[in-house]
Amino acid sequence: MGNWRKSAAGIQPRNKKAESDMEMHLNNLTKPAGSLGRLEELAVKLAGMQGIPDVSHPAVLVFAGDHGVTEEGVSLYGQELTSLMVKNFVQGGAAINVLAKEIGASVTVTDIGVKGETPGAESKKVKNGTGNIAVEAAMSLEEAEQALNAGADTAAEAIEKGAKLIIPGDMGIGNTTVSSALIAAWTGAGVNDISGNGTGVTGTQLRLKQDVIRRAVRRISCTEPLDILAELGGLEHAAMAGAMIEAAGRKTPILVDGFIASAAALAAEKLAPLSKEYFIFGHRSAEAGHGRALEMMGGEPLLDLQLRLGEGTGAAAAYPLVSMAAAVVREMAVFSDLGIDA
């Protein structure tokens, strides 16, 4: 079983010397200095993480869990859709399966807390869904630790199989409500500013959702990151955070998806501050509140396609840009190859 605490303790800052050397190398490539813009910034960041940039064999790690807060009517769909969507992932019919195929990524689907059976998924179930955060803790501290370790274990398995980059993904009806609660607790942002439509709720139902989030945040008085995660988070948030911490400990880039994954990334940063050095933010979600989470982490997304699906889809869409940055380093000629003294 993975040990997220051990992984957190082993995270090293990005190598600034490697980044400086990469900047010099990029300036010797056959182009005007800086002319590839953010692709060059990506190459420098990757060098600081890995030395020689290599993002081959990307692995999408989808964690699925149910949320007791759906009892409050915060979603257009019931919990039963979570297990049905897990079946869809396993059968290869979900959006993330399609996008992962296009970028040559593997997809691992892990049941971390789905209510009911999920044939075909990897089973690391902690329990059958979380508690209703409006009135009770989502999980115990022990369950949060178990989910963090399960996520770390999943990331370790993918990296040991050859993944040079991970894309954590999510599935769980009710998880935008939970994500909003986490972000509100950690940023102090107003609930109305960070709670959005999720599955498509509007009007009275959106106001109900916002009231539920407000009740959940007001219910707690804890300040420690793990306590807040256990009180308000989802099992999939904890597992994604564990996966991110493990990847950072192994100097493996983490391509962060949208709103839900960013709430998990914020959890990872709170629990292991250096993990943020290995984040690459794939896209800006259309979901309200994502901008505040990005602001808290200093994240500048690569894309803005008005996506709000989750699953890892926005990060998968951004992956070709990260791959291009590594390819520039690997394949472009330098001026001396042309007999030119740069």
pLDDT, tens only, 93-104: 999 999 999 999
Retrieve residue 82's tokens: 């979570």
Asked if the model's pLDDT at residue 205 lies above 90, the reply is no
Q: Are 150 and 239 in contact (CB under 8 A)?
A: yes
Q: Give the DSSP letter string of 309-338.
A: --TTHHHHHHHHHHHHHHHHHHHPPBGGGG
Q: Rounded mean pLDDT of 317-329?
A: 98
Residues 6 or more apart whose CB falls under 8 angstroms from that of 202 comprise: none
What pLDDT digit, counting tens, does each position of 22-47 carry? 999 999 999 999 999 999 999 999 99
Asked if the model's pLDDT at residue 85 lies above 80, the reply is yes
Asked if the model's pLDDT at residue 337 lies above 80, the reply is no
Asked if the model's pLDDT at residue 177 lies above 70, the reply is yes
Going along the chain from its start, the domains and CATH numbers come out as: 4-52+328-338 (1.10.1610.10), 59-321 (3.40.50.10210)
β-bridge mates for residue 108, sequence order: 61
Mapped onto helix, strand or coil, the DSSP state of residue 94 is coil
Q: Are 217 and 231 in contact (CB under 8 A)?
A: no
Averaged pLDDT score across all residues of the chain: 95
What pLDDT digit, counting tens, does each position of 111-147 carry? 999 998 999 999 999 999 999 999 999 999 999 999 9
Q: Are 148 and 241 in contact (CB under 8 A)?
A: yes
Is position 311 annotated as part of the catalytic site?
yes
Total length of the chain? 342
Q: How far apart are CA 144 and CA 109, in angstroms?
A: 19
- The residue from 122, 145, 287, 311 that is catalytic is 311
Q: How far apart are CA 158 and CA 80, in angstroms?
A: 28
Reported confidence tier of residue 342, pLDDT bands at 50, 70, 90: low
Asked if the model's pLDDT at residue 171 lies above 70, the reply is yes
What is the pLDDT at residue 288?
85
What is the pLDDT at residue 91?
97
Asked if the model's pLDDT at residue 195 lies above 90, the reply is no
Looking at residue 181, the DSSP 8-state letter turns out to be H
Q: How far apart are CA 161 and CA 143, in angstroms?
A: 27
Q: Rounded mean pLDDT of 72-98?
A: 94
What is the pLDDT at residue 330?
95
Q: Rounded mean pLDDT of 287-313?
A: 95
Amino acid present at 238: A
Asked if the model's pLDDT at residue 166 lies above 70, the reply is yes
What is the pLDDT at residue 200?
77
Contacts of 298-302 with CB under 8 Å at 24 or more apart are 299/256, 299/262, 302/38
What is the pLDDT at residue 1?
67
Q: How far apart are CA 119 and CA 116, in angstroms?
A: 10
Q: How far apart are CA 289 and CA 308, in angstroms?
A: 11
Q: Helix 235-249 to helix 259-271 angle, to the nearest 10 degrees?
A: 60
Residue tagged 């901008």 (tokens)? 291
Residues 6 or more apart whose CB falls under 8 angstroms from that of 269 comprise: 275, 276, 279, 297
Q: How far apart are CA 257 and CA 116, in angstroms?
A: 26
What is the pLDDT at residue 204?
87
